[in-house]
Amino acid sequence: MISAIYFAVLLIERPSNFRHFIVGVFVGLAAFFGRNHGLYCAVAFSALILFIWLRIDRHKLPIRISLWLLGVVVGIFPCLQ
């Protein structure tokens, strides 16, 4: 899952609302391909979002977490059908 590192770098370099949503979609798609991949990515990206909030950008944490969770639901949606 080297692509997880790419998405983490994207999120760190410019933590915007859109990128939080895209990272959530990535986590959902990782869970679609394997539940363990989804779990590991979800734990890693939730820790990364908290790190970004604490160290880089202390704005809009509830909005960004909700956008991330919405992206996870969108990404895992093919698995739910």
Instruction: Tell me the pTM.
Output: 0.90
The pLDDT, as a whole number, for residue 14 is 92
d(CA 31, CA 66): 18
The pLDDT, as a whole number, for residue 78 is 83
For the chain, the structural domain boundaries read 2-80
The pLDDT, as a whole number, for residue 54 is 93
Q: What is the pLDDT along the chain (81 residues), one digit of tens a residue?
A: 799 999 999 999 999 999 999 999 999 999 988 899 999 999 999 999 999 999 988 888 999 999 999 999 999 998 777
**SS3 per-residue string spanning 10-37:** HHHHCCCHHHHHHHHHHHHHHHHHCHHH
